[in-house]
Amino acid sequence: MRITNNMLINNMLSNLGTNLGRVSKSQNQLATGKKISLPSDDPIVASRALKLRTDVAEIKQFKRNVEDATSWMEISETTLKQVGEVLKRTKELAVQAGNGTNTPEDMEKTKLEVEQLKIQMTHLANTTYSGRYIFSGFKTDKPLMDEDGVFQIDIANGEQIFYEVGIGDDISINVAGSDVFNYGNDAIAGEKSSIIQTFDDFLAALESGDGTNVGAVLGQLERDSDNVLRVRAGVGARMNRLELTSNRLEDDNISFTKLMSKNEDADIAETIMYLMNELNVYNSSLSVGAKVIQPSLVDFLT
Amino acid sequence: MSRSSFFGLDIATRGLYTAQRGMTNVNHNVDNINTPGYSRQVLEQTAARPMLMVDGSGMLGTGSEVRGVKRVRDEYVDVKYRSEAQYLGEWDVKSTLLEEMQALYNEPSNSGFSTVMNEFYNGLQQLSTDPSSHSSRAALKEKAVMLTKYFNSVASHFEYLQNDVNDIIYAKVQEVNSLADQISRLNKQIYNYEVTGNVANDLRDQRGNLVDKIAKLVNVEAYEISYGKLPTGLEDMRFVVTINGKAIVDHYNVSHLEAVQRKEKANDEDIENLYEIGWADGNRVSIKSGELKGYLEVRDGNDGANGSPDYRGVPYYQRKMNEFVRVFARTFNEGIIDIDGDGVIDKTLGHIDGYTLDSQQGDEAAGIRFFTILDEDGNPMDSTTFALFAGDSPADIDIDYYNEMYSQITAKNFSVSSEVYDNPTHNIAIIGAAEEPGNVAVMDAILDLRHNTYMFNEGAPEDFIKTIISTMGVDGQQATHYYKNQMTMTNQIENRRQSLSGVSINEEMANLVRYQHAYNAAAKMIQTHAELLDVLVNRLGV
């Protein structure tokens, strides 16, 4: 084959272009840390990258939801514990009041304490979490009851607020006030809470000084305590589930982030190796090219 | 039989001339080594006509002469080059434009579609955990505006791209015409020159180069055709360049192509006044390859819909994005979707069924649409005006009614409604019942749709966009691949052409030395003859 000067130059330029293109690709990968810069570099990687980004973003949001849910439920849990303590103290007072050895002064003191406990109970029923009433079901903007223990809103046990903590995985985060303060019966605005009714019954019994009525109150308190314990157990179980979900999300977050990195991040060591190799090739093609295209017969004719 | 005394001088002079001509030729070749399209020229050097000796001593040589100068060129390689160059042009254009289009989506990155979509859904999630929060509502509105602006911006940039490509098409048509004009002028010069039997080497090279250029732009065939015999007995050869069999250059005549603005849009998604290419005489032209085809397919390609080119170009992606925003907005606003994939449209809860923070017991659902369009002034439209477009609301679920209403939305005018835009605190209606701010039934229904795989043929909303982007990626990859292949092929053919027709400096220098020696020798002959004559004339002492 006849080789002409322009062939040499054209071939050299085209090869230099190809080599420089490879250097530029590696350099770009190193500078951005990503394997690809356009979907056409590798459509499969690009489409997986989009999917994984969405997965990671979702997991992060679910984690935030779990954190919110946990705070809400911690408040519920603490409040329920306090409700239990109030009931326990009231029960102690009822036992004391029912043993028939109390002086009227004792009864008066007991009555004062029970009144305070009742107020404490209504306050607990109106506990808020970042401005929202946690026992008011869907009507989070309204308090559950007034100071006399009269419900301000209708509330059904079915008013469960759900947080999404996974795709298709909802968890109920609230306790309907009716479940705790109305012995599991749906509450109707204007009616008195059954727990507060118990307090009122106690106060009435103390007023009358009749020890036998206190016995009936004790039974009601027993019943209410059991009810609160039941609700607390439910909340505890749900918090357990939240904890498990949170651990799973944490694991998912790590594994999906890892997957995302594996999918789209450039392997730096490998890329540097390639880059060095390509630079070598580029350098040698430059030096060989420069040597080959220069001399011709002209240089040797004198 | 005696010979003329000066016969030797004659022969030597011829030798000088031949050598001189050879050196001129070397000079011409070396000077044109970098001239595009130039093919090296060689002397047709022969022995001059010999003289017959009457005395029977045979033929007497009379030296050398140059019959002509020939260019070294293989017309077959030219045809090969042109047939590959047209695909090189087409894929060059497509690979460049597809890169531009991919950059518009800006994926994969931290600011592309997936990011704005994730942000929007995260905003919804955040609000669902605290539906009465004013700050979450304001944040959701901002994220929704970001989402709609993303579509507006991508769609506008697609329009700019279509407009740019349209301008390029106009310019390329002018370029084809100008090349055709130049070819016809060269035809005239070549014909006039060659009618006397010469060969117009350099002009033919120039013409070949122009045909190479036009072949990159559009599918052409170029050939010489005999129109019979000239009075001189030579063939009457005329040069013709055709597009699809119709001559754009026929000897001296040129038929121009013309770019005329379309009266009607070819695709609904097109911008106004795109150019249609035709012959200036009104005939249709079908462009089968070359840069023009690349530009036309990217500008008009709608995957074969409405008789458009069977390529995924700007209108295809505009159509897909419009489809996305229409279905997405319809489902989000109205909850109208075939939720279980049974082919029957269902009604689930949408934003329109939600209650606002102000809703009172006994109020009906707020009836606010979250997404509408930008009106003519570029302001968000309210949901009532938006719905009026489709007339009265029918009693039953009528998909045609909704299709009509949402046909107003395009990726370019997609917007949040004025209600949501002006007062997100109160008008984001995601609450399930009046006066129950903790009831997120509507929000849950909306959030569930994110993973509903029956929303689009391609799947859930994010699958849809993922499909669009990876389709574009695959097309881009294919275009780059073809371009590289075509590049290799044309380079290979160009090398073959250079190997045959290119100037080699070594060769020319060797020739130079050769002719120089021949010249020196001929000069020596003259000197010798001169000495002989000197003896004859001056020294014989007659």
Distance from the Cα of B15 to chain A's closest Cα (Å) equals: 23
What's the pLDDT score for residue B542?
Answer: 67
Model pLDDT, residue A259: 94
Pick from A238, A247, A248, A243: which is nearest to A76 by CA? A238
Tell me the one-letter amino acid at B369: R
Helical ranges in B398-542 per DSSP H:
399-406, 418-422, 424-427, 441-449, 461-501, 505-534
Residue B477 to chain A, least CA–CA distance (Å): 5
**Of the candidates B519, B329, B285, B131, the residue with the CA atom closest to the CA atom of residue A173:** B131
pTM: 0.88
Q: Testing the interface with A: which of B436, B474, B501 to mutate, by most A Cβ within 10 A?
A: B436
Question: Does position B406 have pLDDT exceeding 80, yes or no?
Answer: yes
**Look-up of token digits 């050769």:** B514
Which pLDDT score is estimated for B2?
55
Radius of gyration of chain A, Cα coordinates, nearest whole angstrom: 38
**With 60 as the cut, is the pLDDT of residue B1 above it?**
no
Contact B102 A38 (CB under 8 A): yes
- In this predicted structure, the answer to whether residue B249 has a pLDDT above a threshold of 90 is yes
The share of chain B scoring above pLDDT 70, in percent, equals 99
Q: Within 10 Å of residue A123's Cβ, how many Cβ atoms?
A: 15
Cβ contact, residue pair B99, A40, below 8 Å: yes
Residue A183 near residue A223, CB atoms below 8 Å? yes
Q: Residue A46 and residue B469: Cβ atoms within 8 Å?
A: yes
CA distance B343 to chain A (A): 23
Decide if B294 contacts B93 (C-beta within 8 A). yes
**What confidence tier does B197 reach under pLDDT thresholds 50, 70, 90?**
confident
pLDDT at B540: 85
- On the question of pLDDT at B438 being above 80, the answer is yes
Contact call for residues B276 and B285 (beta carbons, < 8 A)? no
Measured in whole angstroms, the distance separating CA B83 from the mean position of its chain's CA atoms is 16
Contact between B114 and A168 using a beta-carbon 8 Å cutoff: no
Residue in chain B nearest A48 by alpha carbon: B466
Residue range A8-35, pLDDT digits in tens: 898 999 999 999 999 999 999 999 999 9
CA distance A38 to chain B (A): 7
Mutate which of A38, A67, A155, A160 to disrupt the B interface (most B C-beta within 10 Å)? A38
CB contact under 8 A, B437 and A139: yes
Q: What is the ipTM of this complex?
A: 0.85
Contact call for A137 and B503, based on CB within 8 A: no
CA A293 – CA A297 distance, rounded (Å): 12
Please state the separation of Cα B216 from the chain's center in Å: 10
- B26 contacts B511 by C-beta, under 8 angstroms: yes
Contact call for residues A177 and A165 (beta carbons, < 8 A): no
pLDDT at B111 over 90: no
Tell me A300's DSSP state: G
The Cβ of residue A275 has, within 10 Å, a number of other Cβ atoms equal to 18
Check B438 against A164: CB less than 8 A apart. Answer: no
CB spacing of B102 vs A3 below 8 angstroms: no
Residue B540, token pair as written in the block: 């014989």
Q: What is the pLDDT along chain A (302 residues), one digit of tens a residue?
A: 889 988 989 899 999 999 999 999 999 999 999 999 899 999 999 999 999 999 999 999 999 999 999 999 999 999 999 999 999 999 999 988 887 778 888 888 889 999 999 999 999 999 999 889 999 999 998 999 998 889 999 998 889 999 999 888 889 999 999 999 998 889 899 999 999 999 999 998 888 876 677 888 889 999 999 999 999 999 999 999 999 999 999 999 999 999 999 999 999 999 999 999 999 999 999 999 998 888 888 888 87
Instruction: Work out the percent of chain B whose per-residue pLDDT is above 90.
Output: 74
Q: Which residues pair with B51 in a beta bridge?
A: B60
Q: How open is the CA angle A295-A298-A299, to the nearest 5 degrees? A: 55
Min distance B140 CA to chain A CA atoms (Å): 14
